[in-house]
Amino acid sequence: MNSLDILFVLPLLIIFSYLFDAFARKTKFPSVILLMVTGILLRFIISFSGYDNFEFLDNLIPVLGTIGLILIVLEGAIELEINRKKLPLIAKGFLAALLILIANIFFLQLLFISLFQMEDAAAVLYAIPLAVISSAVVIPSAASMLNHDKEFVVYESTFSDILGIMIFNYALRQLEFGLPLVGAEPLISLGLQIVGVIVISLLITYVLFRLLQKIEHHVKFFLILALLILVYAFGKLFHLPALVTIFIFGIFLSNVKSLLPKFLRAYLDLDATQKEFHEFHILTAESTFIVRTFFFLFFGFSIQLSAFDSFTPLFYGLLVFLVMFIVRYLYFSISSFSLKPSPLVYMSPRGLISILLFLQLKEVSFINKNQNYIDERLLLIVILSSMFVMLLGTIKKQSAPFEEEDEEENALTVEMEVNSENSTDQETTNL
């Protein structure tokens, strides 16, 4: 392709992505599926024309995925509202993300060992990417849900992203050096690392806030994003949970008045920078849209239809998803004391995080990759299955929120009428 062809293709892809996103908001059909299908079709068309040199994808996809990961966590954290009233819901979302993630990893590990005769280390590392919920997919799809369920989905999926990456890096480091995954010493060490990273993150957050106020140049938001990416890169270099820094910065950016200590607020003009925070949020959202667009396009582009030459990946992919769906159903059934599936049961799509962590496994040297049934084909089946189930669950439960809202409105109307009658009786008594 020459430069003129690229100038035609790139803007058309962005326009198609925007149309896919608009279509997804109307129909609840995940735009990510349309992006991947577009990438697969482009690969087929270009390969049919005779061009077959796609080695650049091996380096491009992980870089786009990492930047997309940082932006998605940052955007998700910015959208989280933290206050005392929401603490129970936040705790509930965190607990659900943690317990479901650990249960999925445990049962998938047993499945991989018994079904594929995999080693324990490889089984754990391949289970983690498949167990992580994609906040980039589930948050837009939860728009039609009740506010309480929608907020829960935001908290759970965001925590699932962060916990999944932290557990993956922790497991990778422990298994690389032949250390046990569960034990007092490694867990205490991980806890101390997290506490240290949180303290450092608070200092970095304060410095970045000061930069936002002090920089008078008209280009400064991309400087902040560049510094955040640099912080993440240093964290990866020293095997630290640097994603916590991104999360904390986003949390403080949207909740600075309620979370920042008073002695630090005295040095910041929060009212003057409120507009800048809003502009930074818009920039983050649009950057996330662009990076996510090309990541899923290139991921679809990397898939060869000729690789699906048997039903084996389909069978194994559906089996893996079925195990995770049962785990999620059991959790919400037990926690809600109800056998009827909650709308939240369907909201567990896989996406960018799963792909990114899966790609990192290709660089792990101590895993035997020969005769490995867990590859891109199985991952694609799991992603598509989880998204289609989410779509079916959204369509099935679409009328339920309106019915519940009507019940809430009726209850509110009755309460107002009772209060009005009581007020009238009180006035009569006073007279």
Instruction: Output the pLDDT for position 316.
Output: 92
Q: Considering Cα of 38, then 42, then 45, then 48, what sign does the dihedral take?
A: negative
Residue with tokens 């290709």: 362
Instruction: Output the pLDDT for position 221.
Output: 80
Contact 123, 365 (CB under 8 A): no
**Residue 295: what residue type?**
F
Instruction: Output the pLDDT for position 266.
Output: 65
Instruction: Output the pLDDT for position 332.
Output: 93
Instruction: Output the pLDDT for position 431.
Output: 39
For the chain, 431 residues long, the average pLDDT of each consecutive 10-residue run is 76 88 80 87 78 71 84 80 83 93 95 89 92 84 75 87 87 84 80 81 80 75 86 79 80 76 66 73 86 87 76 90 95 88 88 86 77 81 91 66 44 45 46 39
Record: fold of 3-397: Na+/H+ antiporter like fold (1.20.1530)
Instruction: Output the pLDDT for position 278.
Output: 78
Instruction: Output the pLDDT for position 269.
Output: 66
Q: Domain limits of the chain?
A: 3-397, 399-431
> Within its chain, how far is the Cα of 430 from the centroid?
59
* Residue 309, phi then psi, degrees to nearest 5: -100, 5
Instruction: Output the pLDDT for position 112.
Output: 93
pTM confidence score: 0.82
**Residue 214: what residue type?**
K
Contact 109, 285 (CB under 8 A): no
Convert 132-170 into a string of H (helix), E (strand) and C (coil).
Answer: CCCHHHHHHHCCCCCHHHHHHHHHHHHHHHHHHHHHHHH
CA nearest neighbour of 268 among 200, 198, 225, 214? 214
